[in-house]
Structure 1
Amino acid sequence: MHTVIRSYSGAGAKELFDLLEKRTSEIESLMRSVQGFVSYTLVRTADGGFSVTTCNDKAGVDESVKQAKDWIAANAAGTGASAPTISEGTVMLHAK
């Protein structure tokens, strides 16, 4: 499995997460449509938030990053949020 963390902070990040919170069912459907989807978590922080996506392989994670970028461009460009900081890697342990 492979996981990606997309962290948003700074100008517009809080507004982005306000919008994401209003549209969680849409976001969930979008992430579940990614080939090899395993799990998705969206977390609000004091200055924005982050998402964690786990897929069966790197191709799925790459697709989730593209889907997130495209959704934000189409639906949340007005928030002014900067591109996220992205961290990704191979999963060593996945407990649920």
Structure 2
Amino acid sequence: MYAAVRRYEGVTDPAEAGRRVNEGFVSLMREVPGFVAYYWIDAGNGVMVSTSVFRDQAGAEESISRAVDFVRDQLASLLPNPPQVTTGEVVASA
């Protein structure tokens, strides 16, 4: 399995960002081949983190591409700073 983690800082309206992600982005993730799971986390203090899990590296990379497009088109006013992106192979899970 592979995961992509995106950390957004300076989120201006976490509740609205969560609503938009839930209503629009979650379905986009489910369409990516190899989809396993997706999480959008409100870490507080204007920080939100997304975690996408896929069966293969191609799915994780596709999720990053879709996230870039979705943020640009739907969340730019709420997520003013570029995310810190980490991807890699899942080496342990429960």
| TM-score normalised by length of structure 1 | 0.85
Would you say the 8 A contact 1:8–1:83 is kept in 2? yes
Aligned length: 92
In structure 2, runs of 5+ residues without a counterpart are: none
Identity %: 29
- Over aligned residues, Cα RMSD in angstroms? 1.5
> What corresponds to 2:42 in structure 1?
44
In structure 1, runs of 5+ residues without a counterpart are: none
Report matched runs for 1:1-96 at 5 Å. Answer: 1-10=1-10, 13-15=11-13, 17-23=14-20, 24-46=22-44, 47-79=46-78, 81-95=80-94
| TM-score normalised by length of structure 2 | 0.86
Letter of the 2:92 counterpart: L
Would you say the 8 A contact 2:8–2:79 is kept in 1? no
Letter of the 2:63 counterpart: S
What SS is found at the alignment partner of 1:19?
helix
